[in-house]
Amino acid sequence: MTATRTGPRPDSVFARMLLVWLGALLALALSACAVLPGGDALRVNVVGIEPLKGEGLELRFAVKLRAQNPNDAPIEYDGVALELELNGKALASGVSDQKGTVPRYGEAVFTVPVSISAFAAVRQAIGFIDGQNVDKVAYVLRGKLGGGAFGGVRFSDQGSFSWPQGASTGG
């Protein structure tokens, strides 16, 4: 005599629960994605630079950044990465493990230590000596506020600045 089971089989109950969980996760993911499109870009500007103690052949600076969030949702971050180019050449990079929030329609100031290797500094100097126009120096600042469900928020800023009169080495 074989026993017959009454009620649902355990594997079909598990399959149903799995489908319910997957459906709930998909709905949650789609609702999170709906917040991303149409948002304005995070605005990040350098507001200060202070020297730090370096090791050997490197220069170190504390770069103070102001992030402005022109959106209706706060931006939580856990970690910051930063890189700087001058005249199309990599110059400095830095990371920080700090955490924080850029409030909705608000701003936050944070500091990232950056390093400039001696080789990057020499490469820049050689470019100026080779006759590149040093009256205006083009820069590109790129970075990322880490964390969040989608890996963080990227930002960039670019422009140029002028050397003070008489500081140019070009002829």
Encode pLDDT of 51-88 as tens digits: 999 888 888 889 899 999 999 999 999 999 999 888 88
* Greater pLDDT, 10 or 67: 67
Which of 12-26, 103-117, 125-139, 147-161 has the lowest average pLDDT? 12-26
**CA nearest 75: which of 149, 160, 170?**
149
For the chain, the domains span: 9-36, 43-162
Domain 43-162 listed as CATH 2.60.40.10: yes
Supply the mean pLDDT for the chain.
76
The three-state (H, E, C) secondary structure of 87-128, written as one string? CCEEEEEEEEEEEEEECCCEEEEEEEEEEEEHHHHHHHHHHH
pLDDT band at 40 (very low <50, low <70, confident <90, very high): confident
Q: Is the pTM of the predicted complex or chain greater than 0.75? A: no
